[in-house]
Amino acid sequence: MASQRQLEQQRVDQVIVEIKQQLKQAKKEYEKAHAETSSVEKNYLQNAKVNTTEVDDRMETNAEIQQQKQLVAKNIQTEQILKEQLETLKDLKKSPYFGRIDIQDPDETSPESLYIGTASLSDEHQNFLVYDWRAPISSVYYNGTLGQVEYETPAGRQETELLKKRQFKITDGQIQNMFDTSETVGDELLQSVLDEHSDEYMKNIVATIQKDQNDIIRDTNSDLLLVQGVAGSGKTSAILQRIAFLLYHSRASLNADQIVLFSPNLLFSRYISDVLPSLGEKNMRQVTLHEFFSRRLQGLKVESLFNHYEKQWQLTEAEKELNEEKKTAEFMAAIKDYADHLTASDLCFTDISLHGKILFSQAEIRQLYADQPVQMTPGHKFAAVKNQLIKKLNKLVKRKARSTQIQDQLEDMSSEQYLTLLGDKTKESFHSYDEERDYLGHQLASQQYEVIYDALYNDFFFDSYEQYGKFLQNKLPESAAGYSLALEYHQIALADCAPLLYLRDLVTAGGKNHRIAHLFIDEMQDYTLAQLIYLKHVFGAAQLTLLGDSEQALYASAQRPQALLENIAQTLDARKANLKLLNRSYRSTKQITDFMKAMLPEGENIQAFNRPGNRPLVCQVSTDQAALKALTKHLNASAAKYSTVALITKTMAESRQLYDQLRRDLPVNLLTEQDRSLPQGIAILPIYLAKGLEFDSVIVNNVSQAEYSSSEERGILYTICSRAMHELTLISQGGVTPLIKQIDPELYTLEQTLPVK
């Protein structure tokens, strides 16, 4: 193997020589493009500052500025492309590839060696030195075992014989490790990657993609792909590589702006932000559910998922039941039925006024709606009414433009105001003085009625909040008063967001986004069916990829994967629904995974990756003071060994209290829902902010019987423990929770500091 390693290192060296040459050329082109951009920007700024006094000169200058503005944009785009090429080449220089396959096609007489990396690389003769990991042939590296294999191409399925599969770990141009494997990506390489410490950002995993993850990544047929994976199984990593693959596979018709990922929190959004750029792709659009609802309900303070979680401990059983009903598919079906049967007299229209004068009254709008053909849907009727109101406003503006008031204002106008009114037009755009005057008058009148145009375009003549309140009075009267009271304080409960917006969209025929081609939802077990129905309604043209782990549900009970798929597929009317299971956990050591899975009724389905470590430590103490002492001791010990340490609690109130108690003695950071970055060192945070994250060492606060008394809290404790990569410590003040007591004592170490009786 030593001589082969020498030959492989020679090839690495040759490839790096080629990369250096391409880097040199790319740098020249980039510097040239940068200089051109700077020059064009300079001219643009100089022209923009020109202070001509004649209106004709100013219009000519304006036209030049517009032309140069387009030129600047084009140059910036070219410069950005070259900059991305430079970054890709720099990354390849450090590690050109991570895999090699030797294949022999049926019609070939000799085998061919192909090298797989994060990006493709060709020489000047267009010979591939490295194949992109997303190329069709690269799937053989991930899925194939030695012998006859098949792989998908745009032309259909192809056959080849896989003769060799070799894996590399290359750092700074030097082969650190290499070995041959007869299976899919081998455990030896995976082991070395998983032994590394956690970081502020997630890294790409293209060198260690497993077969089951690769099947998820390359699925292009499903309109609903449900990925159910145990904690630490690489769900999020697989999904990010899936996005990179889709951008590569459909490059001609898909861009990153057509992909939306719903993230569990802002910390997670930042944590994964480096993965796609490291693969040479632009980041997809990211949003949290709270951000999404807040943008659509401007002016209201939307309850976040985290506030909802914190409040659930104080709710009465009756309040919980009301909330649960609003989360169902049946409740959304009732909304649809209600919207379909609304008449003109049922609708909550409002007057449209300007400076205290009513331009369009409720009665007038209601009559316009009533005059629409009966067979039209509510949305089509509303759109027709809206168009009629805009036409009426256009006539009003036309009359206003010819009024003495507007004509007098035109006479008194300065050159600056004149130029602003002209906009993109020039004096030559008009055939006569009267035509120019009519245009300017119309522009001025339109400006004065701009607020009314906005009101009509944004459907402000319909009160969706009052309409939803009426629906609640009819369907769920016990909930109506609470909803109305919250509105008075400009607040809305999370459970009301999806139904209210769904009703608004059905009535107004608005709210849909047809540009989005792929919708990804992470931690989908924390979404209600009502929310999923609304998101499917909004992004109707998108293929859905939902990923989660029902065992990590913080806000609901667990569901079996197949039943979950059937339920969601039926609810969302999916034609090609596909379920992918990821049962192997890679994040944690074998000892931590064995401990976690023992908490679950069906934990035997979880397969632990064989990475050895210490057994989880359960530290049982008797007093508050002893608990604080134990926390300080274990946090100090972990911080000395690891770069990321987390003290994870059940609630934010608990996190704040511990932060206040520990900050004098330890360098701790309290993380809140507004935080976007994960600090190095010790972080204190509630479990809902730790969703999707991982830490070298996790300390769990107070796993006592008093704190975790119910089996319903199993998902919370399991999720907290599953954040740990290398070390897990659990502190219990008093008797340990039954969720841990029922675990085989051989799976953890018990440290007791209780008083002797």
Task: Please give the Cα distance from 211 to 216 (Å, whole number).
Answer: 9
Task: Measure the CA–CA gap between 718 and 120, rounded to whole angstroms.
Answer: 41
- The Cα–Cα gap between 522 and 11 comes to 41
Is-contact 616 743, C-beta < 8 A? no
- In degrees, to the nearest 5, what angle opens at C-alpha 191 toward C-alphas 549 and 232? 10
3-state secondary structure at position 603? helix
**Known binding site: residues?**
229-236
Amino acid at 273: S
| DSSP annotation string for 384-398 | HHHHHHHHHHHHHHH
Query: What are the backbone angles phi and psi of residue 152, rounded to the nearest 5°?
Result: -85, 135
What stretches of 539-581 show up as alpha helix (H) in DSSP? 561-571
How long, in residues, is the chain?
757
Contact 301, 505 (CB under 8 A): no
How many Cβ atoms are within 10 Å of 110's Cβ, its own excluded? Answer: 5
Which sign does the torsion angle of CA 5, 6, 10, 12 carry?
positive
Contact 280, 88 (CB under 8 A): yes
Q: Which amino acid, 312?
A: Q
Query: Looking at residue 616, what DSSP letter applies?
Result: P
Where in 154-289 does DSSP place strands (E)?
A: 156-171, 174-180, 224-229, 259-263, 285-288
d(CA 584, CA 233): 6
User: Which of 223, 205, 235 is closest to 524 using CA atoms?
Assistant: 235
CB 236 within 8 A of CB 547: yes
The sign of the torsion formed by the CA atoms of 294, 300, 306, 312 equals: negative
Alpha helices in 133-186 (DSSP H): 139-143
The SS3 of residue 462 is strand
CB neighbourhood size of 585 (10 A): 25
Element (H, E) at 537: helix 529-538
Distance CA 210, CA 225 (A): 18
Task: Kindly state the tokens that stand for 351.
Answer: 């007057």
Report the C-alpha gap between 330 and 413 in whole angstroms: 60
Give the C-alpha separation, 704 to 12, whole Å.
56
Helix (H), strand (E) at residue 177: strand 174-180
**In 323-353, which positions are buried (b, 16+ CB within 10 angstroms) versus exposed (e)?**
bebbbbbebbebbeebbeebebeebbbeebe
Residue with tokens 């989360």: 327
Binding residues for ATP: 229-236
Interacting residues of 202 by C-beta distance below 8 A, sequence separation 6+: 236, 237, 240, 271, 272, 274, 275
In degrees rounded to 5, what are phi and psi of residue 433? -65, -40
Number of CB atoms found within 10 A of residue 400's CB: 17
The partner residues of 684 in beta bridges, in order of sequence, read 647, 670
Residue with tokens 């109506």: 480
Question: Where in 417-470 does DSSP place strands (E)?
Answer: none
Q: Is residue 419 within a helix (H) or strand (E), and if so which, with residue range?
A: helix 415-422
